[in-house]
Structure 1
Amino acid sequence: MHYSVIYQIRRIYYPALAAVGVLVNLVAIVILSRGKCGLSKCISRYLVGMAVTDLLVVTTDVILRGFGPIYFPPSFLDITPVCSFIIFLSAATAVVSVWFTVAFTFDRFVAICCEKLKTKYCTEKMAVVVQGTVSLLGTSVSVPWYFVYEPQYIIGNVPWYCEIKSSFRTSSVWFSFDMFHLILTPFIPFFLILLLNVLTVRRILVASRVRKGLRGSSNGENHKDPEMENRKKSIILLFSISGSFILLWMTQVVFYIYVRIAGTRYYSSNTDPVYITEHTSKILQLLSSCTNTCIYVLTQSKFREELKNAVKYPINLVAKLVKL
């Protein structure tokens, strides 16, 4: 049987992404939860929440929906109620994951640009409230996805596979829901993150010029500014996370805009450019669930130290057992 290039890529990509995604997100959760990375409790809470949702995205979208149907067809996962529930979980985890990134970006925006609000908003307690609210709302608005699909076959009174209901394409109610979900994720988050980063950069540049002017330098000597150094570390972390999100989601945002303008709903074949673009955008989008841990390693020296200690621990334990 002849398979398209994109299908063959998916057969290799999804298992590899699942293995890496589960490992790096579990490592991030354990290390960040210990609170020894030199980050505030508020930031740590957001980063742990993002790692948890990324792990859920890998579990639902990569494992259950990605390579599960490719390597194990048909299976229990293909029974219509199970299939519909997995699609609902996939949609919910994607919404929550994206909006956690928005919440973290907004928290850093407040910390840098809103001095009066900073002490009340940028706290661990508020981070828990925000994440709980986002999780509840993100899950609630995704519930209708469970009812979008119907059985493709019924064999022995058991409904198999998930096929989109014909009413989904003709009903104005379903059309409104589909548009609402597209606007909710990824359009609003995409542009909110862009806007907040632009405003944050603007604020940083202004504050930096003011502080340099006030501090000055006597006899041409340079003095380190501890506040600016701490702010610089926070900004590098923020821009790395939000920049990665924007780059990896950009293809999907552009694809969604094109599909809506062109009114494309069907593919002529698996070599159709639209088909290839859709799956390529999905591949890039799912990659965003694995990049944050790499960002922590590259930007946070204390995270690197904790990671080294975590790697050394089992090695030292085995060495001790061998000596015994």
Structure 2
Amino acid sequence: MAALSSTMDMDYMEAMASSSGSGSGNGGNISATEATTTSSDGNATAENSTAIGTTTDSTDYMSGDDEEMLRIAFFIGDFVHQYYIPILCCTGSIGNILSVFVFFKTKLRKLSSSFYLAALAVSDTCFLGGLFAQWLNFLNVDIYNRNYFCQFFTFFSYLASFCSVWFVVAFTVERFIAVIYPLKRQTMCTVRRAKIVLSCLTLAGCLHCLPYILIAKPVFIAKLNATICDLNTEYKEQLALFNYWDSIVVYAVPFTTIAVLNTCTGCTVWKFATVRRTLTMHKMKPQTTSMPSNSTSPSAVSSYRISASLKRQKSTGTHPSGQHSVARQQQQQEDHHQQEHQQHINSCQHHCEITKKSDRRHKVQNSSQLKVTKMLLIVSTVFVCLNLPSCLLRIEAYWETESARNENSTIALQYIFHAFFITNFGINFVLYCVSGQNFRKAVLSIFRRVSAAQREAGNTQVT
């Protein structure tokens, strides 16, 4: 969205400049804070200067419909810049910080996916910090447009955007492995491996965004009579090539990977849920179980032998003392077989208890993994949905003419899609609470602990 969003914000600034010029007679009398430009990923771009004046110069030729559309476009832009951005930066940063605390201070820290989500929260917070620094220009707090600050915030914002995209790809790949290849989950989906992957992605992001430190600088715009943080037009050809490369690395490859892997993972989870429901229905049907027949056979055999012995004794006239001896043998054999039978029953019960505990443990693990998978599927899907409109506009900008690019309907869409894009960096905490049962429990446990600590502190002060 480099060219498109720069045009969007410069049009907004031009409208402000033209309105102030009509009242004071000096159209160029606009403060630097009103000349801030914001791209779709929170950064200024090299094509800002080419977009200046296209809107105001064409106002004389506008029809009534065009004026109405332009009024709607700038109303949306005014709302996004003045109200939505500060609210999103504050609430989103608080939610991201709380997410990091939940992932690292609860039992969720044992999951490798928690490290990916915590890293995503950190990168999102960094992006919102850069966006907030740009917004401060509207309050005459001119930090973003100063030398060195311009390079730092430009690099930092691009790095945060790069990391956020690829962190989502990383946990999408991990969930794909955990669902499609469950036997490899114990060895590949580990906390140690997650830390290595996150470190490598952060290093790759630093290398990818390093050129922005060299080419970003404060640039004076004569049309606005202001200095803004922009990209040096001396590297225009190199920037065009880098823009193509950035589109492939930050948009095309990650979005394609997420879409394909989410489709495979979602289909597998759906099949697993169907099979699980079928098995549950079969288990609910009444079944009759019986002990093995060989468990009662020794007693029957013993009784038969004893009765046969008594018959032989009666027929041969055995002495009464012999009958007592046979009775004692019968009692001993019965006691012995009863002990064996009881031991066999105890052994079966113990084996059944072990089997039930093992099955229960596996069910809990599978259920927990399934909940995590569903939550991550929702997070990555929402990520694609919020970023895809900006990506499509960026692709369209490659062959779109300058006049078509500054049509009022296009400007309005740019503002709306820009709001979608930045929303992605502050909405994840809400998604975790809505889709993650374990996350909700962890958040509630933290609030309970904080509340209990406050009560104890109050009781201590009273005493």
TM category (shorter chain) comes to 0.7 to 0.9
Question: How many residues of Structure 1 are paired with residues of Structure 2 in the alignment?
Answer: 312
- Partner residue, 2:264: 199
Match of 2:332 in 1: none
Give the match for residue 117 of structure 1: 184
Please show how residues 98-247 of structure 1 align to structure 2 within 5 Å.
98-153=165-220, 160-169=227-236, 171=237, 173-207=238-272, 217-218=282-283, 220=285, 226=363, 229-247=367-385
Does the 8 Å CA contact 1:93/1:139 hold for their aligned counterparts? no
Distance 1:15 1:208, change over 3 A: closer
Change (3 A) 1:236 1:316: same
Partner of 1:71: 139
Match of 1:86 in 2: 153
Cα pair 2:397 2:405 within 8 Å, conserved: no
Query: Using the alignment, how far apart are the partners of 1:51 and 1:151 within structure 2?
Result: 30
Question: Any residues of structure 2 matched to 1:2-81 within 5 Å, and which?
Answer: 4-9=74-79, 10-37=81-108, 40-60=110-130, 62-65=131-134, 67-73=135-141, 75-81=142-148
TM norm structure 1: 0.84
1:220 is paired with a residue of what secondary structure? coil
Measured against aligned partners, the alpha-carbon deviations of 1:126-185 in whole angstroms (never above 9, x if no partner) come to 00000000000012101112233343239xxxx94323333444x1x3222111111111
The secondary structure found in structure 2 opposite 1:261 is coil
| Change over 3 Å in CA distance of 1:164–1:219 after alignment to 2 | closer
Q: Which has the higher Rg, Structure 1 or Structure 2?
A: 2
Unaligned runs of 5+ in 2: 1-15, 20-70, 288-358
Which residue of structure 2 lines up, in the alignment, with residue 294 of structure 1? 430
What stretches of structure 1 of length at least 5 have no aligned partner?
none
Using the size of structure 2 for normalisation, the TM-score is: 0.60
Q: Counterpart of 2:202 in structure 1: which amino acid? A: S
Structure-2 change in CA distance of 1:110 and 1:263 (3 Å): farther
For residues 220 and 59 of structure 1, what CA distance do their matches in structure 2 show?
A: 58
SS class of match (2:148): helix
Of 432, 436, 439, which residue of structure 2 is paired with 1:303?
A: 439
Output the amino acid matched with 2:215.
V
1:113 aligned partner, one-letter code: I
Determine what percentage of the aligned residue pairs are the same residue: 19
Letter in 2 for 1:191: T
Cα distance in 1 for partners of 2:441, 2:266 equals 29
Is 2:372–2:436's contact at 8 Å kept on the other side of the alignment? Answer: no
How many angstroms apart in 2 are the aligned matches of 1:149 and 1:275? 25
In the alignment, residue 95 of structure 2 is paired with which amino acid? V
After TM superposition, the structure 1 stretch with the greater mean CA deviation from structure 2, 128-137 or 194-203, is: 194-203
Q: Secondary structure at the match of 2:210?
A: helix
- The AA in structure 2 aligned to 1:257 is I
Residue identity in the other structure for 2:104: S
